[in-house]
Chain A
Amino acid sequence: VHLVESGGGLVQPGGSLRLSCAASGFTFSTYAMTWVRQAPGKGLEWVSSISGSGGSTYYADSVKGRFTISRDNSKNTLFLQMNSLRAEDTAVYYCATFAAYSWMRAFDSWGQGALVTVSS
């Protein structure tokens, strides 16, 4: 399993950014996926998850209505569209595979992370 995030960078408050996560080494369309972020010096915060088909999505209250998770199974890519960004969204954003079965639930493989900085 290999996950590579891209699209991070510096953006002004109120701006937008789209993160991508290129996946390889597994059958992407059969796996739920998730985004987790980590503000500088802080702990892990779950952001959003999406089912393998893309038909079900879930969001943390802190990003609901501003962020949109999506996926393109033909291109093995996960996305996170981030709008109306705030200073408190500054963090390293990780994509991860989400094993979501009755016998196993965990974020089992992680990308290296993409830094998003929201500042004027």
Chain B
Amino acid sequence: DIQLTQSPSFLSASVGDRVTITCRASQGISSYLAWYQQKPGKAPKLLIYSASSLRSGVPSRFSGSGSGSEFTLTISSLQPEDFATYYCQQLDDYPLTFGPGTKLDIK
């Protein structure tokens, strides 16, 4: 099975900050990586697919990069509504797996 790790697990930041979350896969997954945002009590929301493609309707301050086994999600200028938990997911092979999540909260 392909394991995903995310760093950091927790991140405190301020409105306007630039933040980066890293996701590492235990083996190469090409570009079959997605990023999701989840707020408390809500369903996850797709932000990025194919490692770097922004889902329609998602603000351009979100961006993704990487291929192979190392990927990043960057938020260029944090907005109040961005404080949430972020998950990466590999869709290269079954079983499909999620990273453990990164909780982003307000400093």
Mutual binders A and B: yes
**A44 and B43 contacting across the interface, CB-CB below 8 Å:** no
Taking CB atoms, residues of chain B closer than 8 Å to A99 are: 49
Interface residues on B, range: 20 to 34
Min CB distance, A84 to chain B, in Å? 19
Q: Is the CB of A108 within 8 A of B50?
A: no
Most A CB contacts (10 A, CB to CB) among B34, B44, B46, B96 go to: B96
Question: Which residue of chain B is the closest to A112 with respect to CB atoms?
Answer: B43
- Asked if B45 and A105 make an inter-chain contact with CB atoms under 8 angstroms apart, the answer reads no
A20 an interface residue at 8 Å Cβ cutoff? Answer: no
Q: For the complex, is B7 an interface residue (Cβ under 8 Å from A)?
A: no
Interface size of A as a range: 20 to 34
Say whether chain A's binding surface is mostly helix, strand, loop, or mixed.
strand
A106: chain B residues at CB < 8 Å are: 34, 46, 49-50, 55, 89, 91
**Does A46 lie within 8 Å of B95, measured CB to CB?**
yes
Chain A residues within 8 Å of B55, by CB:
106, 108
Asked if A43 contacts B34 (CB within 8 A), the reply is no
Out of B44, B95, B96, name the residue touching A61 (CB < 8 Å): B95
Contact of B96 among A46, A104, A108 (CB under 8 A): A46
Interchain CA distance A115-B98 in the complex, whole Å: 20
Contact B100 A43 (CB under 8 A): yes
